[in-house]
Amino acid sequence: MTQPDRIEHLYELWDANWDDGPLGNYQILKHTITRKTSKRIYFSLHGKAAFVDRQQLEADGEVFHRATRRTLYLEPPEIPGPPQKPSLPDLRKAMADAHPDRGGSDEAFIAARTRYERARSAR
């Protein structure tokens, strides 16, 4: 008795509320790989054939499919958690690191100081 071939997939991190709700309701979509050549990986995308560069996908673990503006992964990506607010000490350190006396630019320091001041006044 022979075992059936393992079905391979490309994975996509998709936000289910991208058009009408709060961002962050992520799902992982699977796209079935239909064929592999030395240069391309062909897959099914909503019933249509599409392909990505095999060398780039295998080297980086991900590839941007320009025609559909989506990033595809070899392995299921981790679903991101809610963004964490930076702490005041982290913002203060970033402000100090961006100071012109420490090799930063005026613009970078002003932006870092603005972020620090906003966070400080919000608490």
- In this structure, the answer to whether residues 15 and 67 fall within a common structural domain is yes
Q: State the pTM of this model.
A: 0.60
> Could you read off the pLDDT of 105-123 as tens digits, one per residue?
999 999 999 999 998 888 7
pLDDT in tens, 22-73: 666 788 999 999 999 999 999 998 889 999 999 999 999 999 999 888 999 9
Residues 69 and 92 in one domain: no
Asked whether residue 68 falls in the same domain as residue 92, the answer is: no
Query: What are 116's two structure tokens?
Result: 């620090």
Same domain, 100 and 58: no
Does the residue 83 lie in any domain?
A: no
Element (H, E) at 59: helix 54-60
Same domain for 67 and 98, yes or no, is no
- Report which residue type is found at 30: K
| Local structure of 7: helix, strand or coil | coil
Q: Are 54 and 41 in contact (CB under 8 A)?
A: yes
Asked if 12 and 31 count as a contact pair (C-beta separation under 8 A), the reply is yes
What tokens were used for 47?
């019933």
Same domain, 14 and 69: yes
Domain of residue 115: give its range: 88-122
Distances (CA, A) of 45 to 10, 20, 21, 91, 118: 10, 23, 24, 43, 44
76 CB-near residues (< 8 Å, 6+ apart): 11, 28
Domain count, the chain: 2
Clarify whether residues 92 and 51 are in a common domain.
no
